[in-house]
Amino acid sequence: MALIVHKYGGTSMGSTERIKNVALRVAKWHDAGYQIVVVPSAMSGETNRLLGMAKELMAQPDPREMDMLASTGEQVSVALLAMALKAIGKDAVSYAGWQVAIKTDSAFTKARIQSIDDAKVRNDLDAGRIVIITGFQGVDADGNIATLGRGGSDTSAVAVAVAMKAEECLIFTDVDGVYTTDPRVVTDARRLKTVTFEEMLEMASLGSKVLQIRSVEFAGNYKMPTRVLSSMTDPMLPLEIEARSGTLISFEEDTNMEHAAITGIAFNRDEAKITVLGVPDRPGIAYQILGPVADANIEVDMIIQNQSVAGKTDFTFTVARGEYQRSMEVLNGSVKEHIGAGSIAGDAKVSKVSVVGVGMRSHVGIASQMFRTLSEEGINILMISTSEIKISVLIDEKYMELAVRALHKAFELESA
Ligand code: ADP
Ligand code: ASP
Ligand code: MG
């Protein structure tokens, strides 16, 4: 019997009414003869609420205790969904990550899944039960609960689908698929019927939070068919229609030379830029600046080093805005003195906007069109980075939405 994994996000699980709808949708698939594993997130707002309470007690909450706390949101969801299914006559059982077990490493708040034991789940499915497993969490080798980073239920769902050798992983959410850009920012954004795995990976890593990046990596590494679709439709929508709705991530080599140059626009509002000024231009300097930043577990994104004048240069890089203060502390500590830099400047109000598309390989002039569009809007570019299928620019935060809308129009991405 074919097995399908369903994932429901926070909005989809946002109230007992919505949970009843999830139960009806899951029951519809089960009635059609599928074995179903459901991976829900915490009810919307719940994870933020929990993390907010932690911050009221400790400025930098202890990571292990943070995970102990944050994981409770998903435990509420699985139990409520099991009850909603039982209430409509379905046999269902809920499990926390450690009960399955979903084994992770011990990197609390950003743990990685290492293995999933499918035995217990398989037994339940064979007995006709619907199995509901908490998203976002697992257990480390010492029995501690560890969470997978914000948006991590997507990764739990795809990993469970891979471990269970599911036919497909369906990511039900509050939009009806992956769009050319966030439909909340550009109202005439267009839904993509398919998106290549490479493009989805870039879009997720450049800030489109519709899928957590690691879920896309799992889907790609194991070629797990993964579809993003709406949980906001009538739960009794005919299954044949629902099964083909939304956006499918495709793994085929994209051979379509007619492919539009750009597939989508991603953005990340919460960036910060740091410049170390008056750095002596000598070998090893990049390592001496970025080594201590990496040792503090801070991820660096864009990097530029200016041409040197009279043996001195400026070195600029970006980090996530949440890491800005800590990065400044690291640099103002021993690093500045050690390398003999002049001063350190920063700007925590910058955003990154990126155009993404495999079509870039066969189209020229994408960068110049992007830069022309931004210049026509009077938007200053602070930094640029490129790869084979994306161009990213760093700009002042206050121009971010304007930039996204202007680029969306310039590359003719809007719905017809
Ligand atoms: P869930 O709670 O279901 O996991 P998320 O809020 O994590 O949902 O992700 C869905 C949201 O992602 C949408 O509501 C939308 O605002 C946002 N989003 C950002 N970029 C895109 C995009 N390119 N296509 C669709 N949604 C996007
Ligand atoms: N509840 C977690 C979060 O808010 C995981 C998820 O929603 O995917 O980040
Ligand atoms: Mg999400």
Which pLDDT belongs to residue 210? Answer: 96
C-alpha dist (Å) from residue 412 to 181, 196, 394, 408 = 12, 19, 22, 6
pLDDT of 32 over the 80 cut? yes
Provide the 8-state DSSP code for 115: E
Asked if 236 and 309 sit in the same domain, the reply is: no
311 and 247 housed in the same domain: no
Average pLDDT over the chain reads 95
Whether the predicted pLDDT of 93 surpasses 60: yes
Q: Which of 253, 280, 311 is the last residue of a domain?
A: 253
Phi-psi bin for 362: left (phi > 0), alpha (psi -120 to 50), beta? alpha
For ligand 2, whether the C-beta of 135 sits within 6 Å is: yes
Instruction: Check if 82 has its Cβ closer than 6 Å to any atom of ligand 1.
Output: no
SS3 414: coil
Are 149 and 185 contained in the same domain? yes
With beta carbons less than 8 A apart as the criterion, state whether 123 and 35 touch: no
**Cα–ligand 2 centroid distance for 99 (angstroms):** 19
Give 258's pLDDT tier (boundaries 50, 70, 90). Answer: low
Is 40 close to ligand 2, i.e. is its CB under 6 Å away? no
User: Do 227 and 270 fall into the same domain?
Assistant: no
Distance of CA 262 to the CA centre of its chain: 20
d(CA 45, CA 71): 13
**CATH number of the domain residue 280 falls in:** 3.30.2130.10
The parent domain of residue 305 ranges over 264-410
CB 125, CB 3: distance < 8 Å: yes
So what's the pLDDT on residue 415?
Answer: 79
Q: Would you say residue 259 lies in a domain?
A: no
Percent of the chain residues past pLDDT 70, beyond the cut: 98
- Is the residue at 134 inside a domain? yes
Top mean-pLDDT range of 237-241, 280-284, 335-339, 362-366: 237-241
In sequence order, what E strands does 51-202 have? 92-95, 102-104, 113-116, 130-133, 137-139, 145-147, 168-173, 194-196
Q: Which residue CA neighbors atom 7 of ligand 1 most closely?
A: 210
pLDDT level of residue 323 (50, 70, 90 thresholds): very high
Which residues make up the environment of ion ligand 3, defined by Cβ < 5 Å? 9, 151
Please say whether the beta carbons of 42 and 79 come within 8 A. Answer: no
Q: How far is CA 71 from CA 97, 111, 148, 223, in A?
A: 9, 12, 10, 28
Tell whether 168 and 70 lie within a shared domain.
yes
* Other residues' Cβ atoms within 10 Å of the Cβ of residue 141: 10
Residue 132: closest CA among 13, 28, 39 = 39
Same domain for 190 and 67, yes or no, is: yes
Instruction: Specify the number of domains making up the chain.
Output: 2
CA–CA separation, 272 and 180 (whole Å): 25
SS3 content of the chain, % helix, strand, coil (to 5): 40, 25, 35
Say yes or no: CB of residue 73 within 6 Å of ligand 2. yes
Q: What is the pLDDT of residue 255?
A: 59
Residues 226 and 312 in one domain: no
Q: Indicate if 321 and 190 belong to the same structural domain.
A: no
d(Cα 354, Cα 305) in Å, to the nearest integer?
21
* pLDDT tens profile 171-212: 999 999 999 999 999 999 999 999 999 999 999 999 999 999
**What pLDDT sits at residue 105?**
97
Q: Are 330 and 298 in contact (CB under 8 A)?
A: yes
pLDDT band at 342 (very low <50, low <70, confident <90, very high): confident
Question: Which one of 229, 253, 277 terminates a domain?
Answer: 253
Rounded to whole angstroms, what are the CA distances from 101 to 118, 143, 229? 8, 10, 28
Q: Do 372 and 329 fall into the same domain?
A: yes
pTM for the whole thing? 0.94
| E strand residue ranges, 298-378 | 300-305, 312-320, 343-356
- Kindly state if the Cβ of 208 falls inside 6 Å of ligand 1: yes
**Best residue for ligand 2 mutational test, from 110, 150, 211 (most atoms within 8 Å of Cβ):** 150
**Quick check: CB of 404 below 6 Å from ligand 2?**
no
More confident: 338 or 384: 384
Q: Residue 300: beta bridge partners?
A: 319
Residues 300 and 334 in one domain: yes
Q: Is residue 415 part of a domain?
A: no
Residues 283 and 233 in one domain: no
Distance 235 CA to ligand 2 centre (A): 23
**Percentage, residues of the chain above pLDDT 90:** 87
Closest ligand 2 atom to residue 152 Cα is 8
